[in-house]
Structures are given as C-alpha cells and as structure tokens.
Chains A and B, each alone.
Chain A
C-alpha cells in the first residue's frame, strides 16, 4: 500500500522517515527513531501513556498517523530535561512527591503536565485533576501525581520569578 515521506521535527531535530500509510506516530517514534520513552499502553486512546506534544499541545500518539505529524514539532519525554541534563522541575516534582511506582505511565503524565502548566501556570487542584483526565496510572492512585503537578507549578513559577528558564 502507499508509502509516504514524513518530515518532522522531534525534540528540536529535523527528521525524515519513509513509512507506510498506516504507521502510527507512536510507532514512528519508538520503532523508526528509537525514542522508546513514549510508551504504548492500551493502544486504544484511553490510557495516555503515549502522550506527546505536537506544537506544544498534548496528543495521544497511538491515535494519530505519522503522516498527520508532517511538518510539525513533536516533543517526547526524551526532549524534557534541565539545562545541564538534570531532571526538569516537573520530573523532579514527580520524584519528590512519590508520583510514580512502575513508571510506565509517567512519560505521558509528564508531557500532559508540561502542556497544561504552560497554559495554566497556577492551577487549582480541581483543574489539575481535569487536565490529567486523559492519563491513567494503575499503581499509585492519583494523590501523589496531583501533588506533584501542583508542586511543579510552584517550582516553575519560582523559576520564572527568578528570571531563569
């Protein structure tokens, strides 16, 4: 069946992949580009483990054809880190608030959180819960995760008020 050339930017780097029409974005990232931080969970768009950002907006990469990402900027968990390779404030908040056990859902939660806090830097607890409604965690429950997002919001606004990124 038809094959297509997909040019896109992934974590700031231009990429070009030739793929069949039915290639999913999640499979392009994992199998063609070997960025295995993006997880395949339910593969039916419920669990959100495959969440990546496209032009800053969260999407479920198991529910999108690779060709739909053509010309777009994709950010995966591999593109999330501090200035010198350390954890970024959202990741650090997840670690310190016990927001993960097995860690399989964590990349998806972090990507959703990143997009959410960029738009809503000082959310309420209820807003955080709504923002995370497309991501499932089967280990921890959600208390620690919601705590982590609120903590990350405080860390990020602290960073901004000090004038660093």
Chain B
C-alpha cells in the first residue's frame, strides 16, 4: 500500500472541504473494508485519505411512522441486522444486512460506505431501491435529496459531485406493503452475489395492487424492472403472468460478464431469482424473520 496523508475531519462540512481541496487525489474512508482492499492492491493510490469514520453522530437508526426509517451513513451492517426497530418495521432490510459478506465484514463495513463505493457485486443498493429509499447528500452547494435509484449512474459511478458526502439514508414506511430480497451466489461459500433481486408489493391475496422490483449485482449498477412492474400491477399473479414478467425483466437488462458469471447465465438467473422472489412474497406475504 502506498503511503498517504490521513486527514481527520471533525464534521461533515470539514470533510467536504477536504474533498474539494484535494479532488481526485482524495478518498473518503468510512469502515474501510472496500477501500483498504483497493489501496492494498494499488487499484487506488490517493495522496490523501479523509477519515470520515471518525466523525461522531452519524450512526443513528431512527424510525417514526410518518417519515419511516432514517439511517446515518456510519451505521454498520451488523447494527442494521440486529436493530429491533429495523427488524420489526423493515424486516427485508434487516434480513439482507445480516447476510452480507461475513460476520467480520458486517461488524466493520458501513451502509454509507457500501452505497457510495458503487460496487455492483453487493446487496444493500438493490434492496434499498426496491424499498424506495432516498439519500441525503451534503456538499459545497448545500444539501440535496435523491432517490437512491438515481444515485447510481454507471459501473462504480454515483451522482456524488466533488465535495459531496452522503449524510442520511431514508426508507419510507412500508405501510400495507411487504417485501423480500434474494441474493444468488455462485456457491454457498461465496461472499458476493452474482444476482440480487428486491421486491416490494402491495397485495390483496394474489392480486398485485402495486409493485417495485429492483435488480442488482448482475448489472453495472442496480436498476428497476419497470416493464415487469407494469405488467404485474393490477393483475392476479398466476404462474403464467409471473413467468412473463420475469422473462421481460431478464430481457431488459444489460448483464455484466466477469469472473463470477457470464452475461447470459446472469440473465437466466435474474429470471429465476425474480420469479422465485415474487412467488414467495405472494405465497407468504407476512413471513416474519426467524430470530
């Protein structure tokens, strides 16, 4: 690992100023599980590392019925998985957080770091896009809020502008909807998914009133399956309808091809995983988390 200057801001505005001052030569460090790997392999060689993880007050988990869940960027995956309020109000999020990578990574890696790194081979972005999460960004021009869906621009590329940092993740209340997230791995020993599918639906029996479907890990950045959503909305979800929706979603994506899987395999598995996830949701909409 190349040596670097470590900067230790005490506040978000100070971190933002440091990022502006050093531009492309600076990187933000939160939990470090992704950045340290890139530094050690010299994929990144910043002259300055801004230690965001040392700023206090950015790891709150709050919930209220009107606004839903508000998460600080430094909330760690293990905290999200164990949080009673997350488990009761947004169980699919807690369930997903408890499955990321492995226990060591979950107790070090942060939600904000995960979202901002833009690595496609991960779970939180896909799960949170299905949940209609928004992110609050803070930078030199003040604050702005974006749907997480528009935060992802391309492979490892986000909408963050120079000097901007993510300061909050907001997840609206599920209300009468229910959701599920599925990650698909090459082998059970793998730590990263090759397909992830998140589904949130408002159902009346097998009638689909409204649905949001997000696909990730198989595409350069996570995407909505809008055509499949439109097809399912207002319909009784029979195996035939579901098959058609899954095929539509799979044909709409531009899958990644890498050492984890070839594009056509990913496309096929998106179809399978999407079909299974929606089917399971309509079969058991109120399935509770196992303790």
Which of A's residues lie within 8 Å of B, judged by CB? 1-2, 4, 20-22, 24, 43-45, 48, 51, 54, 57-60, 63-65, 67-68, 70, 112, 115-116, 131, 133-134
Contact = CB atoms under 8 A, between A and B. Distances in A.
Given A1-B4, A68-B53, A134 B102 contact: yes
B32 A68 contact: yes
Contacts of A43: 40
Contact of A67 (B2, B39, B51): B51
19 contacts: A1-B4, A2-B5, A22-B39, A45-B37, A45-B105, A57-B78, A57-B107, A58-B103, A58-B104, A59-B107, A60-B108, A63-B33, A63-B37, A64-B32, A67-B6, A67-B51, A68-B29, A115-B103, A134-B191
Interface in B1-32: 1-6, 8, 29, 32
Contacts of A21: 3-6, 49
Interface in B79-93: none
Contacts of B36: 24, 45, 63-65
Max chain A C-beta neighbours (<10 A), residue from B2, B3, B5: B3
Given A45-B37, A58-B107, A63-B37, A134 B6 contact: no
B251 interface: no
A48 B104 contact: yes
A22 B189 CA distance: 30
Given A65-B29, A68-B53, A51 B104 contact: yes
Nearest to A60: B104
A44 B37 contact: yes
Contact of B3 (A22, A58, A68): A22
B73 to A, nearest CB: 16
B174 interface: no
A1 B191 CA distance: 34
Top 5 A-B pairs, shortest CB-CB distance: A134-B102, A21-B6, A57-B107, A1-B3, A134-B104
B41 interface: yes
Contacts of B40: 43-44
A146 to B, nearest CB: 14
Nearest to B7: A2
B101 interface: yes
A57 B6 CA distance: 25
B5 A1 contact: yes
A112 B6 contact: no
Contacts of A65: 6, 29, 32, 36, 51
A2 B8 CA distance: 11
B37 A112 contact: no
Contacts of A22: 1-4, 39
A31 to B, nearest CB: 15
Contacts of B103: 58, 112, 115-116, 131, 133-134
Nearest to B108: A59
A133 B191 contact: yes
Contacts of A112: 103-104
A133 B41 CA distance: 23
A133 B105 CA distance: 11
B53 A4 contact: no
Report which residue of B4, B40, B103 has the largest number of chain A beta carbons within 10 angstroms of its beta carbon. B103
Given A45-B37, A59-B107, A63-B36, A20 B102 contact: no
A45 B107 contact: no
A1 B6 CA distance: 8
Given A2-B4, A24-B36, A51-B104, 19 more contacts: A2-B6, A21-B5, A22-B2, A48-B102, A57-B108, A58-B104, A60-B108, A63-B32, A63-B33, A63-B37, A65-B36, A67-B6, A68-B29, A70-B54, A112-B104, A133-B191, A134-B101, A134-B102, A134-B103
Contacts of B4: 1-2, 21-22
Contacts of A54: 107-108
Among B8, B39, B101, B108, the one with the most A-chain Cβ atoms within 10 Å of its Cβ is B108
